[in-house]
Structure 1
Amino acid sequence: MTKVIHDRRAPEGTERFSKRHDFDAETDPSDFDAAHELFSDLRARCPVAHSNDMEGFWMLTRYEDIETAMSDPTLYSTAVQNVVPRVATTGRRPPLHLDPPEHTPYRKAIAPLFRRERMQHWNKVVREISDRLFKDIPAMGRADICGEFSFHLPIHVLAEFFMISEEDALRIRNIGHAFNLALQTKDFDAIQKHSLVLYDIAQGIIDDRKENPRDPGADPASALLAARDFDGEPLPDQGILGTIRQLLVVGIIAPTTFLGSAAVHFCRHPEHFQLLKDHPEKTPQITEELLRLYTPYRGFARTPTRDVEIGGEKICKDEPIALCFTSANRDETVFDCPHEFRLDRDNPKPAIAFGRGPHRCAGEPIGRLMIEAALESWAKYCNGFAADGPTPMTTWPEYGPFAVPVRFL
């Protein structure tokens, strides 16, 4: 549980922030299981841990502490640093980079795009895209599930979502790929360079919608241009630009790496792939359990606005805190046999896969839909996978492989 420490002050002239080093943040990037082994160790011996890597940060590994931090944006801000490591160098990108109430008009503008009625439309569209992209791949005999399929799926969905051309979608795909590689290698000059190109693409979408308005109930740029703030004024141009820029990339990396993790799981557990084939009605349950086991986010961050105490550890105002969803969803105090794949779970709390509170992922419905569609396509067009090479892993803030070579069964 969290309580505020009102009177804590660092002595004048001393180092304010912690230099304690409980763990190395950069685990073996070639080992699919290394991160989970680290998090299990930390939950047992040091659930509120500090690392001096990546400029220094705290990490919460237990479900309860993370749930508490996500529920109080006045005490745990996302406006200072939203991920570990700090990578945002090119301006604010609402709604993620703002706290309530500033973030609320942006959130309200895009939320209707994911309402139930719109998901009925996307159900057919996303499944058709997934089938089209995957159906001919098994005939190749061997393929990289990420490179040949899961990287392409969100890009094609993105093109439909933003109502842009395949040419523009391809450009976003290439820049998004380069942006992701820069993140993995921590090439911050390249991160900034590619981010600026994404801003140019976002500005082009906005300029087009100003000249050619679309239905605000279906088009994100038109929805933001039509939105009003609390005073009835249009949202600022820079805020709209930042939101479109954020939406262009946020939905690319996570589906790629998560579906890679799912493929690794099915290579290890062919009986679970057979379950998927034999019982397509269980696809939503299988999706939920895979999301719990392989949650693709370990580095979403908050910054305390005052000194706090979490799990007996004192954390100073302005020290970044990583909320490790990947660890929380294997917390032994919440999930029985947390490392096992089980569809008969009766847990008191659901897994934290898309966040919680005011910054819960607005695109969660379409994210789940993409995953379910992909699993359905796999079950429809092949009989399973066998591992066919190494699975290089992403680094912070994501978790999951960015390449999964397989042989089709």
Structure 2
Amino acid sequence: MSDQPLTYSPFDAEVIADPYPVYRELRANSPAHWSREANSWVLSRYDDVSAALADPATYSSASGIFPTPPGVDMTELFLPMLIMSDPPRHTQLRQIVSRAFTPRRIAALEPHIETLVKDLLDQTPEAGNWEFVSGFAGPLPAIVIADMLGVPRDDRDQFRAWSTTLIQSNPVRGEFGAGLDAAAALYEYFTAFLAERRAHPQDDLMTALVQAEVDGEYLSEEELLGFCLLLLVAGHETTTNLLSNSAVVLAQHPDVRQQLADDPELVPAAVEELLRFDSPVQGLARTLTAPVELHGESMQTGDTVLLLFGSANRDDHAFPHADRFDVNRHPERQVAFGRGIHFCLGASLARLEARIALQTLLTRRPDWDVDLDAAVRLHSGPIRGYISLPMQ
């Protein structure tokens, strides 16, 4: 190990490119680590991350879930939303939106998703280079969530652009203003669309949100807009990045890829391992409501704590030989989608989309390669994925 003091910043370009070496150092030498760059404590071990996720009373989401450098306030990017709330309001809001993500409703989407996957692949060239993110991994979940919300498919490219700009708002790189503009554009769009749904109700999630009541009261305009932003961004960013990360990992493990092509029944287990091995959400923050003593460090009320899902999923104590990609592992305990009351509502949808997409891709294009030299990564602290991924 280097003689230099251990530092960790989720905004550092080298960390974004490959965070796993510094995660190993954090777990081994500084499991409760103060990051000046992120202005937060950083928990990297599986047991600590899992315990924090299971204790929302101490590790609160209400003050924000994204780590930020000192002096930067990202709360103006986001109106009140489910993922940034605590009980009892969180419980009430989750009950409303969870109706759209029941197992029965998600299972009913399978034929629709299969058709979308085939149509998208039909539009790609049979030979030569093609752009995996803009041509496949981005449009697929964007279309699915747009159809669920009831917004026009023709707007999906604009949604994708706004969403990417928002997620890419790395404050260290001076991109905060662009993120504010993207959030404002999304809120303006959905303000008009919500008004249209009030006047002309339809059989879609947007109408259901407008008509939803909590304790006899309708959701506020800010809560509705927060729902729309969360569902749009979280509803497709996670799957887009899961698919692009998976394409890279499988290209780097051609023997495993061939094993999956020969036996498509292995793909659901492979999706779990892909989620563990290179998590699309590397970590989210919480705020302490009480002091916590951990690994000899004293964390105080009001301190921000960054929970590194990506590091927890590479902890050898939870997953033996964790740096090995193994589709026979069955890592049911992985925390790529979080855990507890904030477990990702769209996890089952993301898993379904990923399974269908990978099974079809393995059938239609089983020998793909990726050009990592030409690929462009997202420069986002918590989100790991690609803006562009050339494939052939």
TM-score between both structures, scaled by the size of structure 2:
0.91
Deviation at 1:186, TM superposition (A): 4.4
Structure 1: 5+ residue runs without aligned partners? 1-19
Distance 2:341 2:99 in 1: 15
1:203 aligns with 2:191: yes
Deviations 1:140-180 (A, max 9, x none): 41123223221222211122111221223333223223334
Deviating more after overlay: 393-402 vs 301-310 = 393-402
Structure 1 residue 404, shift from structure 2 partner:
2.3
Match for residue 166 of structure 1 among 153, 158, 163: 153
**Aligned match of 1:268 in 252, 264, 273?**
252
Which position in structure 1 is the counterpart of 2:34?
A: 50
Change (3 A) 1:247 1:330: same
- Residues 30 and 392, structure 1, Cα contact 8 Å, conserved in 2: no
Q: How many Å separate the matches in 2 of 1:273 and 1:344?
A: 13
After superposition, the Cα gap between the structure-2 partners of 1:228 and 1:30, relative to the gap in structure 1 and judged at 3 Å, is closer
Partner of 2:200: 212
After superposing the two structures, state which structure 1 stretch, 390-399 or 256-265, moved more: 390-399
Contact 1:182 1:190 in 2 (8 A): yes
Q: Is the 8 A contact 2:26 2:44 kept in 1?
A: yes
- Check if 1:228 corresponds to 2:229: no
What is the total number of aligned residue pairs between the two structures?
Answer: 381
227, 230, 242: which one pairs with 1:243?
Answer: 227
Aligned residue number for residue 294 of structure 2: 310
Q: What is the CA distance between 1:254 and its match in structure 2?
A: 2.2
Counterpart selection for 1:149 from 133, 136, 139: 136
Shift of 1:31: 7.1
Counterpart secondary structure, 1:265: helix
Contact 1:298 1:322 in 2 (8 A): no
**1:280 Cα deviation from its structure 2 partner:** 0.9
Over residues 73-102 of structure 1, what are the superposed CA-to-partner deviations in whole Å (9 max), with x where a residue is unaligned? Answer: 211110112112363314433211110111
Q: Deviations over 1:232-268 (max 9, x none)?
A: 2222222122111221212232222222211111221
SS in 2 for 1:303: strand
In structure 1, the residue corresponding to 2:383 is in which secondary structure?
Answer: coil
What whole-Å deviation, never above 9, does each CA across 1:360-379 have from its counterpart, x for those lacking one? 11111111111112102211
Contact (CA 8 Å) 2:377, 2:387: kept in 1 or not?
Answer: yes
* Equivalent residue, structure 1, for 2:381: 396
Q: Which residue of 1 aligns with 2:99?
A: 112
1:343 counterpart (315, 322, 327): 327
Inter-partner Cα distance in structure 1 for 2:261 and 2:114: 16
Cα 1:31/1:268, change in 2 over 3 Å: farther
Give the residue type in structure 1 aligned to 2:198. Answer: K
* 1:193 matched to 2:176: no
Paired residue secondary structure (2:34) = strand
Structure 1 CA distance for aligned equivalents of residues 349 and 158 of structure 2: 22
Q: Which moved more, 1:138-147 or 1:74-83?
A: 138-147
Scaled by the length of structure 1, what TM-score is found? Answer: 0.87
Structure 1 counterpart of 2:290, which letter?
R
Find the aligned partners of 1:29 and 1:136 in 2 and give their Cα distance. Answer: 35
Please tell me whether residue 128 in structure 1 is matched to residue 115 in structure 2: yes
Where does residue 35 of structure 1 map in the other structure?
A: 19
Counterpart of 1:127, as a letter, is E
Between stretches 88-97 and 177-186, larger displacement belongs to 177-186
Partner of 2:52: 69
Quote how far apart the aligned CAs of 1:299 are.
3.0
In the alignment, is residue 327 of structure 1 matched against residue 315 of structure 2? no
* C-alpha contact 2:11 2:170 (8 A) present in aligned 1: no
Q: Which residue of structure 1 lines up, in the alignment, with residue 362 of structure 2?
A: 379
- Kindly provide the CA deviation profile for residues 90-148 of structure 1, in whole angstroms up to 9, marking residues without a partner as x: 44332111101111221111101111221122111112112211234251411232232
Q: Which amino acid aligns with 2:193?
A: I
Q: Identity of paired residues, percent?
A: 28
Q: Secondary structure at the match of 1:125?
A: helix
For residues 157 and 261 of structure 1, do their structure 2 counterparts lie closer, same or farther at Cα, with a shift above 3 Å needed? same
2:64 maps to 1:81: yes
